[in-house]
Structure 1
Amino acid sequence: MMMMADQGCSPHQPFPRWIPSLHPAAMSEEHQPEMVTTPLLVDIEDMPSHPVLQVLCKVLWMVLPITGLVLGAVYLDQCPRQPLLPIYLIILGTLTVLQILLGSLPCGAGTVWQRILIFPLQITCFLFFFAWFLAGSVWVYSIYPPDYEAVGSQSFCQRTLFLFAFGVTTALHVVLGMAFLFSLCILATFFILGVSLPNSWSGD
């Protein structure tokens, strides 16, 4: 009886190595769940897109700046109240079309051609576009409302020219404001998740 008691597994002794199914290390390895990693966000570049749809979207994006460019050229001398207003539309439309064309070049991401020429040119156009937009906002809103009837006077500005410039400038302000608020919401969400997740892990 004493020999059988010595050979048995008492509660205070570890599991025998010759029984792998009962050993705690083996049990933890067998019952360890498999980690499955799935991306939270789908890469936009990997999503399929039809070439015709891409061309159509770019053409639609170019309609508005080309319209402003044409209006600025047609009514170039018909806004004595603010002579820079037609030039504002011409340059703004040209910069927008140039940005769209630069983004459409088939250079391939990460190539030497893109890093040396295309990407710096896009950054330069965007910075100049933003500065020109701010200057145009001052020119547009400072003369609101102009005189649409007194042709030839210093207070006159052609109605179609001014209303188009006013509408485009206001729409850009709205879009930039919404983008800024959306960015703030994303940053606030990441900040809240970054604070709450470590606290929940430490609580567990």
Structure 2
Amino acid sequence: MLSELWNSMSGEVRAAVGAMLISLIASGIAYWQARTARDQAVSARDAAAAAQAQVELLRRQVEGDEKARMEASGPQFELISAHTAHDPWSESYAEVTFRQSGGPALTSVRVATSGEGVGGLRRDLAYGTYIDGDFDYETIGDLEIGPMATGGTHTVRVSLDYGVNQAKVQLDFTCSASADQPTWRRALQASAAPIPVRPATGDQRRGRRS
């Protein structure tokens, strides 16, 4: 039937139909090529995004490893002693002694303190200098104690609220080995209480005789 229809067409009609068929085929090929190119572009974009995500993940891992390495190479501190006492003006304070137990030599160690009943760090004034006519120290938020190295010790006095005899004191350290080195932060906790008074022996009560 199609052959009879084709044979009944004039040459011009046949040419027009052939041109139309060629156009349709060409359009189909162009559409398929465009769709293939679009799919390839989407695949390439997805692959690029996946590669970028992998690079970002690796970068974070490297930065995390570097940060962990630098943190592990930093200083360590340990508590030696802590006790509370009263100064001549009946003001309470805690005396805390600590040591750098490891890590690099430090060019700067800054100490701050916190805790319930804790008022700050005491800094002695120059000899003959007084605050309010009495106190030869001032209470500050943090204290620069200078360079330290492994084995070095330092003692700080922490002001306490009036009447406080026992306190849990936290020392917060900000340390650096040099200007171009990272800053390390450390914390040390201490339970401070009055030094126990040793009971007098029999000889001390009676008074030792020579």
Bucket of the pairwise TM-score, normalised by the shorter protein = under 0.3
Between Structure 1 and Structure 2, whose CA radius of gyration is higher? 2
Higher relative contact order (CA 8 A, sep 6+): 2
TM-score by length of 2: 0.23
Q: Which has the higher helix share?
A: 1
TM-score by length of 1: 0.24
Q: Which has the higher strand share?
A: 2
